[in-house]
Amino acid sequence: MQHGKVSALPGSNIVSFPGQRPPNQVGFDRQELARILDLYGRMVAAGEWRDYAMNFTRECASFAAFRRTADVPQMRLEKRPALRNRQGMWALFGEHGQVLKRGQELVNVLAPVERRLVKAVEE
């Protein structure tokens, strides 16, 4: 075996480049997580949500908010860096899996949830 090459299958070679490894999983950075959890806290205070879940895979990081623990999530937010140059790496999904918003900026993608929070507080 040569230096810099790793055999995956017989007859195939994977070349690794120093410092160019793909991450094992996608995650939220500190500012993104702070914004998401701030919104979650305000929704909890408004009585809209009670629980959340996060999932981190090689392709995406997701945050889901629930009204009750046993329910399907009312909202799911996904970060997919592979879509950064296409439709935007952020996507907001509704309770039934429909795409509510996609975009490049987290603030813009969370706007429908922010509007819903304003309505919940006014009632």
Residue 109: the pLDDT is 92
101 found inside a domain: yes
18 found inside a domain: no
Tokens for 79?
């970060």
110 found inside a domain: yes
31 found inside a domain: yes
Below-50 pLDDT ranges, the chain: 1-9, 12
Please identify which residue in the block is written with the tokens 């160019």. 20
11 found inside a domain: no
Residue 72: the pLDDT is 84
Quote the CA–CA distance of 48 and 90 in Å, as a whole number. Answer: 22
How many domains does the chain fold into? Answer: 1
14 found inside a domain: no
7 found inside a domain: no
17 found inside a domain: no
Structural domain harbouring 41: 24-122
Q: Give the pTM.
A: 0.74
Residue 82: the pLDDT is 86
pLDDT in tens, 66-94: 987 677 888 999 999 888 888 889 999 98
Tokens for 120?
């919940």
Residue 84: the pLDDT is 85
Angle at 14 between CA 13 and CA 17, to 5 degrees: 140
